[in-house]
Amino acid sequence: MGDTALTAYPSVHTILANEMVQLTAMPKRGYRFTGWSGSSTEKTETITVTMTCDKTYTAHFIAVRHRLNTTVSPATGGDIILLPQQPDGGYVEGTVVTLRARPASGYHFKEWSGDASGKHSVTSLIIDSEKTATATFVENEAFNLVWVLGGAGVLVAGMLIYTIGFRRR
């Protein structure tokens, strides 16, 4: 069982009649103990049992899950791709999720906010609690192109300025 661990105290292989044994269920990262079955239905992680006969104890665990809530600002600016995709119940605690901000046409990515941060369009989060991430996009600026015709002129394209000379034939 990859999600369980069990300790017994005293740690002996043979237990004598009427000897007391303490059992402790220890969940691994990303799991939570839910209770015992078999010779006990206790819900506490540590139980003490008196060995009066053969007994069987099974510790039960479930995966702890958390949601990753994502938002895009503005709503028309683009979208967020999650790898792996978020399961219906959320991610198992400890999952590393890659977030990729994908701008819509006419926008570019600006930055992450919330539990995600940075100015790169790809980032990652370790899901260890409920998380939020917002991808902020900015609308691309439009530039005018101005042509001046004549003996000499200036061409303005975006932030670059070109001087152009024309010759008549």
SS3 assignment, position 15: coil
Instruction: Copy the structure tokens of residue 37.
Output: 């079955």
The amino acid that residue 167 corresponds to is: R
Predicted model pTM: 0.64
C-alpha span between 122 and 14 (Å, rounded) = 56
Q: Would you state the pLDDT for residue 28?
A: 85
What phi and psi values does residue 83 have, to the nearest 5 degrees?
-130, 115
The terminus-to-terminus CA distance of the chain in angstroms comes to 88
Which is more confident, 163 or 93?
93
**Residue 99 banded pLDDT, cuts 50, 70, 90:** very high
Please say if the pLDDT value at position 2 is more than 50. Answer: no
Tally Cβ neighbours within 10 Å of residue 105.
7
114 φ/ψ sector (left φ>0, alpha ψ -120 to 50, else beta): left
Q: What is the pLDDT of residue 164?
A: 55
- Measuring CA to CA, which residue among 20, 65, 64 is closest to residue 46? 20
Q: Which of 81, 88, 31 is nearest to 61 (CA)?
A: 31
**Omega of the bond leading into 87 within 30 degrees of 0 (cis):** no
Indicate if the alpha-carbon torsion angle 108, 137, 110, 138 is positive or negative.
positive
Q: How confident is the model at residue 84 (pLDDT cuts 50, 70, 90)?
A: very high
The rounded distance, in Å, linking the Cα atoms of 52 and 38 is 15
Tens digits of residue pLDDT in 25-76: 888 878 899 999 988 888 999 999 898 888 888 889 999 999 999 999 999 9
Percent of the chain past pLDDT 90, that is, above it, reads 54
